[in-house]
């Protein structure tokens, strides 16, 4: 057992050997979490709230039936949760290899991952860990919260846990509740408008504008101008002061006024050759008589 704990940097924690504090089927969980807390790289690999999510899903896992776990719905699966779950399972795999190399001090029945980890339940607890204490994460049961707290003390023995970071809930399309709720709009650059590829632009006389972007796309400042597509003007706009709530929301106060497409110019007259013969209509009168010097007088 000592060699196994030394492989996971847990040899200086006598609390992990106490089965009253850490049951045998939770030993690998606690060892992997302690190893993640001692990550030598820059930054913190595991925060306090994330460790609470691991412990809460482990202690509540044995109090849920297979049908409840199968029908469990997860509202949101975060990329952070997927990365933590993958990293944790990689640590469990290495712990199983170390357990076999050290003569299996932990039985395979207790070392199986389904004894202490469920992916859907972990995502559920992780989403609530930033806003809920450990007691609420443990379904409001005092005995489960006490078990998770005791294991957390054994894991953090001799270590300094990072302070919890109060973060806002996952970003949604609206903020607030009820009639006072406001909707968050995407931020738009107030200074420039990037035209679609293949479009050209012509600016009205204005100083300090007319500079193109380095990536080849034309950029319009907040002055007036015309939009041309395939050499045809399809829209015109004029600049002006930015007033009203449009400026507050981050949208440029540019008034687009669609103009009708110009009519094509009339075709040029075609040149006709004058024939030397007499026109068939020459000399005819309105009454149908044929005029001319050879015409008979009445």
Query: Quick one: average pLDDT of 37-66?
Result: 86
Q: Please check the confidence at residue 122 and state whether its pLDDT lies above 90.
A: yes
Query: Quick one: average pLDDT of 209-223?
Result: 48
Largest CA distance in the chain: 142
Q: Which region, left, alpha or beta, applies to residue 283 given φ > 0 means left and ψ of -120 to 50 means alpha? A: left
How far apart CA 183 and CA 181 sit, in angstroms, is 7
| C-alpha torsion angle, residues 60, 63, 68, 74 (rounded to 10) | 0
Q: Which band of pLDDT confidence, cut at 50, 70 and 90, is reported for residue 271?
A: low
Helical (H) or strand (E) element with 283: none
In the predicted model, what is the mean pLDDT of the chain? 72
CB contact at 8 A, 154 and 12: no
CB contact at 8 A, 32 and 9: no
What confidence score (pLDDT) does residue 264 get? 67
Query: Quick one: average pLDDT of 254-282?
Result: 57
How far apart CA 54 and CA 46 sit, in angstroms, is 10
CB contact at 8 A, 16 and 31: yes
Q: Please check the confidence at residue 269 and state whether its pLDDT lies above 90.
A: no
What confidence score (pLDDT) does residue 219 get? 47
Q: Which band of pLDDT confidence, cut at 50, 70 and 90, is reported for residue 15?
A: confident
| The residue to which tokens 């909707």 are assigned | 183
- Joined tokens for residue 90: 């990689």
Query: Quick one: average pLDDT of 94-120?
Result: 92
What confidence score (pLDDT) does residue 263 get? 65
Residue-wise pLDDT tens digits, 237-258: 776 555 444 444 444 444 444 4
Query: Quick one: average pLDDT of 205-233?
Result: 58
Q: Which region, left, alpha or beta, applies to residue 218 given φ > 0 means left and ψ of -120 to 50 means alpha? A: beta
Q: What is the DSSP letter of 284?
A: B
Kindly calculate the radius of gyration of the chain based on its CA atoms and give it in whole angstroms.
40
Highest mean pLDDT among 114-123, 177-186, 253-262: 114-123
Label the pairing between strands 219-220 and 255-258: unpaired
Query: Quick one: average pLDDT of 180-189?
Result: 38
Query: Quick one: average pLDDT of 194-214?
Result: 47
More confident residue, 166 or 275: 275
């Amino acid at each position: 057992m000592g060699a196994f704990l030394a492989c996971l940097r847990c040899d200086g924690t006598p609390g992990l050997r106490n089965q009253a504090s850490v049951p045998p089927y939770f030993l690998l969980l606690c060892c992997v979490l302690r190893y993640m807390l001692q990550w030598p790289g820059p930054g913190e690999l595991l925060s306090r709230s994330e460790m609470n999510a691991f412990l809460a899903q482990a202690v509540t896992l044995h109090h849920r039936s297979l049908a409840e776990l199968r029908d469990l719905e997860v509202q949101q699966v975060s990329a952070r949760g997927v990365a933590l779950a993958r990293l944790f399972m990689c640590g469990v795999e290495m712990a199983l290899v170390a357990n076999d190399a050290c003569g299996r001090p932990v039985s395979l029945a207790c070392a199986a991952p389904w004894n202490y980890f469920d992916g859907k339940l972990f995502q559920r607890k992780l989403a609530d860990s930033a806003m809920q204490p450990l007691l609420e994460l443990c379904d409001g049961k005092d005995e489960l919260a006490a078990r998770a707290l005791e294991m957390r003390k054994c894991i953090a023995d001799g270590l300094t846990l990072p302070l919890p970071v109060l973060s806002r809930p996952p970003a949604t399309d609206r903020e607030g509740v009820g009639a006072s709720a406001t909707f968050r709009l995407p931020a738009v650059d107030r200074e420039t408008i990037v035209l679609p590829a293949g479009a050209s632009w012509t600016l009205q006389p204005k100083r300090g504008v007319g500079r193109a972007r380095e990536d080849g796309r034309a950029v319009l400042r907040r002055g007036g101008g015309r939009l041309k597509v395939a050499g045809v003007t399809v829209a015109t706009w004029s600049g002006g002061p930015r007033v009203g709530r449009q400026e507050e929301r981050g949208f440029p106060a540019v008034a687009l006024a669609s103009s009708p497409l110009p009519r094509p110019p009339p075709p040029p007259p075609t040149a006709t050759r004058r024939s030397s013969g007499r026109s068939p209509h020459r000399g005819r009168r309105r009454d149908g008589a044929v005029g001319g010097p050879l015409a008979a007088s009445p």
